[in-house]
Amino acid sequence: MEALRLILRYVHLIGFALLLGGAIVQYVSGRLRINPGMLWGAAIMLATGIGLSAPLRDGDEPDPAKLVTKLVLAILIFVMVFFSRKRDVVNRGHFGAIIALTLVNAAVAVFWR
């Protein structure tokens, strides 16, 4: 179980790199569109996050309220990414919100103990 949890955590972090890295690359390039890295990253965060929420820790589980908060934010991010994936240019506020929500979700992961 511990090995499974560590693998899920590892892939979760790769998804985080794809989502945030993909968004930052677009942002600094000046062309605000959804790239495949962001789309894959958002999907990986949802899939591995749900896996990580399984009771894999022998009793020392994260607060369910934390998991629900993360799930709601991640669904929001995924919807915002998925339904804008074909747009040539997305609204600056929309793009900024994707980055901000991603950073908030990482902060929830790290600081909510």
Provide the binding-site residues for ligand HEM, judged by CB under 6 A: 9, 12-13, 16, 19, 45-46, 49-50, 52-53, 62, 67, 70-71, 74, 77, 102, 105-106, 109-110
In the complex with ligand HEM, the residue whose CB is nearer, 50 or 97, is 50
CB distance 61 to 55 below 8 Å: yes
Q: Which residues contact 22 (CB under 8 A, 6 or more apart)?
A: 35, 36, 37, 38, 41
Distance of CA 66 to the CA centre of its chain: 14
Work out how close the CB of 87 gets to ligand HEM at its nearest, in angstroms, rounded to a whole number: 20
Alpha carbon distance 80, 74 (integer Å) = 10
Q: How far is the CB of 27 from ligand HEM (least distance, A)?
A: 16
**Closer residue to ligand HEM, CB minimum distance, 30 or 47:** 47
- In the bound state with ligand HEM, the residue whose beta carbon lies nearer, of 13 and 33, is 13
